[in-house]
Structure 1
Amino acid sequence: MVSRATLDLHLDLRPGDRGVRSALTAALRDAVDDGRLAPGARLPSSRSLAADLGLARNTVADAYADLVAEGRLAARRGSGTMVAERVGAPVPPQAASEPTPSNPRHDLRPGRPDVASFPRSGWLRSTRRVLATAPHAAFGYGTRRGAPELRAALVEHLARARGVRADAGRIVVTAGAAHGLELLADLLRARGGRTVAVEAHSLHLHRALLEHRGLRTVPIPVDDDGARPEDVEADAVLLTPAHQFPTGVALTPRRRAALVDRARTTGLLVIEDDYDGEFRYDRRPVGVLQGLDPEQVCYLGTASKALAPGLRLGWLVAPAALLDPLAAVGNPAGHPVGALDQLVLADLLATGAYDRHVRERRLAYRRRRDELAAALAPRVRGLDAGLHALVALPPGTEAETLRAAAWHGVAVEGLDAFRHPAAEPRGDALVVGYATPSPSAWPAALEALRRVLAC
C-alpha cells in the first residue's frame, strides 16, 4: 500500500457536552466514513495536529488510539498513522466494470483524440527549457493577445502547414476554438449583428454558444461540394471548409472563391473553423479559406486534436480591422491561458517537436481509418481527413442502431444529433470517431461496432 500524505486536515470540532477528545474522535470518524479521508491517507502527526487545533498532544494521540481500536485507522512504527484499508469499501466509479454514458466500454464518439498519445516527454523537455531560459517578465500578466513568443511561432507554423497569411500582430491566443468563437460572437453583437449562418449539420456546442450570446443561427445546406455560399443570408457565417463536421466533405475551390467574393461586397463576416485541418490522409492538405483574403476571413485553430483538449490552447487570426474591436470585448482581467503553457507550445513549434508529433499521429490515425474502411466498406464516407467517419445506415434505423450501440457498451453519435433544428434531415448514419481508444482497445472497439451494425 502506498500512503498518501495528508499534511493539512480540516476538522469541525464542536465539543459541547462531550469533551474535546470525544469531539475530535467523532470529527475524525466522520471524515473517514464519508470518504474525505481515503484509505491509505496518512494523517498529520499527533504533535502537528495538536498544534494546528490548539489542543494537548495527548488528546490527539488518544483520539487516534480510539480509531485504531475501531479499525478505522492503522498505526505503523516508522510510518505514522493512516486510514486503514477497509474490506468492502465502495468501488470508485472509474473502476466499475459496467459501462455508463460517461464511462463507455468502447468510446467511438467523434472529435476526441487519443489523449494517451500526448507527448509527455516532449512537453517536459520544452517545459524545462522554458523554465531555464524564459525572462522573468514572461510570467507576468502579459497582453490580451497572448505571449509574443507563441504568436511568432504560430506565424511560421500556420503559414507553412496550413497556408495562413498573417503576422504576429493579427494572432490572438485563445483558450481553445470555442473561446475564439465567443470573442467573435461578442464582437458581432457589439457591431449590431444578430444572425449567424451555420452548416445544416454542424457542431451543436458551437450553435449553443452563439445562441447563448444572443445570436440567432440559421442553417446552410451542405452537399458533396460543401456548404452553398449562395444560400447565406446572415451577418456572419461559420464554416468548417477543410473537413466539414460531421459529413467530412471539403469546400470546393469554386465555392470558396464565391464566398470570399460575397464577403467583399456585402461585409459578411466569415469565420473559418479549421476543424481537423492537420489530419489529411489521401492527398496534400486542403489550404485554408483565410489564405484567399486575410481581410475577410477570421481563422480559428486549436491544439486540441493534435495534442490534447485539456490544454485549452487555440488561436484566432483576425483581419487587421477587427483587432482593436476584439481587444475591447476580450477579458480585461488577464489572459485566459497560462503563460507557461503558451511558452511551452511555442518551444514545441520552434524546435519541430510539434510537427513530428502531428506526423506520428497522422500515420497512426490513418491506419485506424484504413481498418475502419476495410471492416465497414462500402458504408463509410468522409475518410479523406480528420478523426471520424460517416457510416451510412438503412433509412429509419438510426435510433434503433444507437440503442443497440448502447447495449453493446459502444458510445457513438448519430448524424441527426448534429442537425440544425430548422434543417432538413440528411439520411440515417453514425458519426464514428476512431481516434479515442488506446491501441490495445481499438480492435475490440471496432469489433463491437461491427456487431452493432449486424444487429
Structure 2
Amino acid sequence: MSRSNEGAYQGSKSPSGSDFLQLDVGQAPPGGRTEWLAGRLRAAIADGTLPVGSRLPASRVLAAELRVSRGLVTEAYQRLAETGQVSGRGRGGTVVVAAPPPVAGASRPPDRGGPVDALRAVPCRIDLSPGVPDLTAFPRTAWLQAERRVLAQLTPADFGYGNPQGAPALREAVVGWLARNRGIRADPDEVVVVAGVAQALALLAHVLREEGVHRIAVEDPGSLGARQQLEYGRLETVPVRVDEAGLDVAALRASGAGAVLLTPAHQFPTGVVLDGERRRDLLGWAAAGGLVIEDDYDAEHRYDRAPVPALRALLPEAVCYAGSVSKLLAPALRLGWLLVPPRLRDAVTAAKRYADLGNPVLAQLVLARLMDSGELERHLRFVRRRHRRRRDAMLRAVAELLPGARVHGAAAGLHLMVTFDGAGFDDTALASAALALGVKTHPLSWHRVRPGPPGLILGYAAGSAGEIEEGIATLATALEGVLDGPPETGRKVFPERRQPPGGSRVVRG
C-alpha cells in the first residue's frame, strides 16, 4: 500500500504542472500518481533527457509545483533509488547514477548506432560486457620504452605520409607473429594494416560490392557489431545457423551467398570450434568460388584446449584473414591487419588509401618493436594466466548462484555464454534489470537473428575475481526479479534468493 497521500490537493482547481520535464499531474490516472511520476522519471533517464549525473528537484520543490504531497514525490524517488537509477546524496540532492540501455522488448535493436555503443557509455559498478580485455594490464612500461627507441631512430622523412598499406616494419612483424602463433605463412606484401577488424570489414564490404557480391552469410548467433558493419557497407546479411560443430555449411550452400564471415577458432558468442568435417566442407565451398572472411576472434586466449589452425593457413587464395590487438592490448589502439587473396589486394589497398591514407605510423612502429622483441608474447603469457583465473572465478560463481544455467565456450576467449534452456523470460529484460542494479552485460538475443533460448554473454577479463562474484550475485538477484514479475508497491528489489533444483552445466567449447 502506498505510503504517500495520493488524494492530497485533488480538490484544487489550480494548475498542477511543472516546467521540470513538462510534468502535468492531471495526466496521472486516479490513485496512480506515484507510479505515474516514477514512470515519467524512468522514461526520462532511459532516453537521456535526465543523463547520468543530473540532479532531480528537491522533493518539496517538485511537490509544490505539482500541488501534490511531498510524500508522493519522496516515494517516487525512493522507487528509483531501490532500482539503482538514482541516489540520495544528502545536501547534494537526488542524483541520477545509472541509466538502462534501450533493451527492453528490443530483441533486434536498430542498426544506427546500436545498443552496444549506447551501453558502453553508461556508467556502472561492474562491467561484465564481452570483448574487453584487462585494460589495467596494458604494458605501459614496455610500450613507452619501445616508443622512445622508435623515436630515437626516426628521420624527419619518417614523419611524412606513410604507405597506406601499412608501415613495412609492422607488416613484416605481423607476418612473423602469425607464423609463430597461428601457423600462417604469408608475405609482407599480403598484409594491409587496418584500424581494427571493424575497418577490415568495412573495406571488404566496399570491395565485395564492387566485385558484384551483394549477399554475405553470417553466423547466427554471431556478432551484432560485425553484422551491423557489413549492413552499413550495404551488404545483405544472411543468417546461417551455428550448432555444436560450428557453422552449418550445408545451410551456407543453400543460402546462395557468395561470401561468409565466421569466427572458426572460437565462435562468437557460443565459443564452439568449427570441427574437422565442417572445415573440409567449408574449404570445398570456398575452392568452388566462395570467399571466406576469417575473423580470428581472441584466438590467442585459450586455456583448456590445443590451438586451432587458422583457415587462412589451409586455403590462402580463398580466405581473407582479419586480426587485431584489441583483445590482446587495448581496443583504443585501433591496430589490426587484413590478409587478402592476390586478386583482391590492390582493391583493398585502394579502399584503405581513400578511407584514411593509412594508420598513424608511430603506433605501427611501436607495435612492430613489441612483436619483434618478444614483449608481446610475454604480455600474452601474463594476461592468459590472469584471464584464466578470472574465468575460473566466473565458472564457480555461475555454478553456485545461477543453478540450472548452461555455460558455453569456457575453454578459450574472454567471455562465457550462459543460456537458460526451457525458461520463458526475455533476456533483454534480464540485462536491463541487471543494469538497473549496476551490472552491465549483453543479452544473447542482441546477437541472434532467429529466436532462441534466453541467455547472457558475460565478459570476465576486465574485472577482478571479487567483482566477478559480486556481478554474478547481482545477476541472480535480477533474474529472481524477472522470474517473479514486476515488484509490488513498496517491495524490496533485493529479495531472498530461491535456489531452483539442478546445477549449472558447462560446455567447454
Task: Report the TM range for the smaller structure's normalisation.
Answer: 0.7 to 0.9
Q: Does 1:250 pair with 2:278?
A: no
Q: Deviations over 1:54-113 (max 9, x none)?
A: xxxxxxxxxxxxxxxxxxxxxxxxxxxxxxxxxx9999xxxx883345101111111112
Superposed displacement of residue 376, structure 1: 1.5
Instruction: Supply the distance in 2 between the matched residues of 1:149 and 1:89 (Cα, whole angstroms).
Output: 58
Task: Indicate if the aligned counterparts of 2:269 and 2:457 stay in contact, CA closer than 8 A.
Answer: yes
Task: Indicate if the aligned counterparts of 2:146 and 2:369 stay in contact, CA closer than 8 A.
Answer: yes
- Which of 361, 368, 373 pairs up with 1:346? 368
1:20-419 matches, cutoff 5 A: 98-101=97-100, 102-232=122-252, 233-265=256-288, 267-332=289-354, 335-377=357-399, 379-393=406-420, 394-397=422-425, 398-419=427-448
Task: Indicate if the aligned counterparts of 1:109 and 1:412 stay in contact, CA closer than 8 A.
Answer: yes
Superposed displacement of residue 453, structure 1: 4.4
Instruction: Supply the distance in 2 between the matched residues of 1:374 and 1:109 (Cα, whole angstroms).
Output: 18
Q: Deviations over 1:118-157 (max 9, x none)?
A: 1111110110111112344333211121000000011011
Instruction: Supply the distance in 1 between the matched residues of 2:188 and 2:125 (Cα, whole angstroms).
Output: 44
Task: Indicate if the aligned counterparts of 2:215 and 2:238 stay in contact, CA closer than 8 A.
Answer: yes
Instruction: Supply the distance in 2 between the matched residues of 1:163 and 1:452 (Cα, whole angstroms).
Output: 44
Deviates more, 1:431-440 or 1:344-353: 431-440
Superposed displacement of residue 321, structure 1: 1.9
**Gap regions ≥5 residues in structure 2:** 1-89, 101-121, 400-404, 482-509
Task: Indicate if the aligned counterparts of 2:352 and 2:358 stay in contact, CA closer than 8 A.
Answer: no
Q: Deviations over 1:1-57 (max 9, x none)?
A: xxxxxxxxxxxxxxxxxxxxxxxxxxxxxxxxxxxxxxxxxxxxxxxxxxxxxxxxx
DSSP-derived class of the 1:283 partner: coil
Deviates more, 1:366-375 or 1:391-400: 391-400
- Which of 431, 435, 454 pairs up with 2:457? 431
DSSP-derived class of the 2:353 partner: coil
DSSP-derived class of the 1:426 partner: coil
Instruction: Supply the distance in 1 between the matched residues of 2:351 and 2:456 (Cα, whole angstroms).
Output: 38
Paired letter, 2:419? A
Instruction: Supply the distance in 1 between the matched residues of 2:469 and 2:148 (Cα, whole angstroms).
Output: 37
1:193 to 1:89, Cα distance in 2 relative to 1, 3 A: farther
Instruction: Supply the distance in 2 between the matched residues of 1:183 and 1:150 (Cα, whole angstroms).
Output: 20
Instruction: Supply the distance in 2 between the matched residues of 1:164 and 1:127 (Cα, whole angstroms).
Output: 28
Instruction: Supply the distance in 2 between the matched residues of 1:388 and 1:195 (Cα, whole angstroms).
Output: 29
Instruction: Supply the distance in 1 between the matched residues of 2:469 and 2:158 (Cα, whole angstroms).
Output: 45
Task: Indicate if the aligned counterparts of 1:143 and 1:334 stay in contact, CA closer than 8 A.
Answer: no
1:165 to 1:389, Cα distance in 2 relative to 1, 3 A: same
**Gap regions ≥5 residues in structure 1:** 1-87
Superposed displacement of residue 439, structure 1: 6.1
Task: Indicate if the aligned counterparts of 1:142 and 1:334 stay in contact, CA closer than 8 A.
Answer: no
Superposed displacement of residue 279, structure 1: 0.3
Rg: which structure is higher? 1
Paired letter, 2:372? A
Task: Indicate if the aligned counterparts of 1:381 and 1:390 stay in contact, CA closer than 8 A.
Answer: yes
Task: Indicate if the aligned counterparts of 2:326 and 2:334 stay in contact, CA closer than 8 A.
Answer: yes
Deviates more, 1:441-450 or 1:353-362: 441-450
Task: Indicate if the aligned counterparts of 2:163 and 2:358 stay in contact, CA closer than 8 A.
Answer: no
Paired letter, 1:253? G
Instruction: Supply the distance in 1 between the matched residues of 2:235 and 2:131 (Cα, whole angstroms).
Output: 25
DSSP-derived class of the 1:298 partner: strand
Paired letter, 1:379? R
Superposed displacement of residue 440, structure 1: 6.3
Superposed displacement of residue 290, structure 1: 0.8
Task: Indicate if the aligned counterparts of 2:393 and 2:465 stay in contact, CA closer than 8 A.
Answer: no
Superposed displacement of residue 403, structure 1: 3.6
Instruction: Supply the distance in 1 between the matched residues of 2:188 and 2:96 (Cα, whole angstroms).
Output: 49
Paired letter, 2:267? Q
Paired letter, 2:439? V
Deviates more, 1:179-188 or 1:202-211: 202-211
TM-score normalised over the length of structure 1: 0.75
Paired letter, 1:448? T
Superposed displacement of residue 352, structure 1: 0.7
DSSP-derived class of the 2:316 partner: coil
The alignment covers a number of residue pairs equal to 360
Task: Indicate if the aligned counterparts of 1:146 and 1:335 stay in contact, CA closer than 8 A.
Answer: no
DSSP-derived class of the 1:416 partner: helix
Task: Indicate if the aligned counterparts of 1:151 and 1:173 stay in contact, CA closer than 8 A.
Answer: yes
Question: What is the identity percentage for the equivalent residue pairs of Structure 1 and Structure 2?
Answer: 46
Instruction: Supply the distance in 2 between the matched residues of 1:121 and 1:445 (Cα, whole angstroms).
Output: 31
1:143 to 1:451, Cα distance in 2 relative to 1, 3 A: same
1:335 to 1:235, Cα distance in 2 relative to 1, 3 A: same
Superposed displacement of residue 252, structure 1: 0.7
Superposed displacement of residue 329, structure 1: 2.4
